[in-house]
Amino acid sequence: MPEAGVPVGYFFAVSTLLFSLGVFGALRRTNPVAILMSIELMLNAVNINFVAFSRHLGAADPVRGPMFAIFVITVAAAEVSLGLAIVLALLRRRRSADVNEFDALKG
């Protein structure tokens, strides 16, 4: 269904920017809450892509793309609640929320 409107490249530009911001944040920030937020950014970049592609490719079933996005949003919400719970647990235990202080995964 090729339609006039915003070209699909613009959506990519936005989602790429969002994703890169998310990656940078997830890698650089030391506050776990900020990291979670950055991950949200990355997921939302993906969501934009889903929706944009769905529209751009004119899928037979126009709901499928947005459907994925809704799923991702749901899972992300659950994930964040879990993540925040972990952060709270960490805060209680270690009186700190700096990720650099957690290296229990060390080999």
Residues forming the site for other proteins (CB under 8 A)? 23, 26-28, 35, 99-100, 102-107
The residue (of 35 and 43) whose beta carbon lies closer to other proteins is 35
| First CA to last CA distance, the chain | 53
- Minimum CB–partner distance for residue 67 and other proteins (Å): 26
Q: Which residue has the tokens 């799923």?
A: 71
CB of 55 within 8 A of CB of 65? Answer: yes
Which of 4, 27 has the CB closer to other proteins? 27
Q: Give the up-direction half-sphere exposure of residue 88: CA atoms within 13 A in the CB hemisphere.
A: 6
Nearest to other proteins of 38, 54 (CB atom):
38
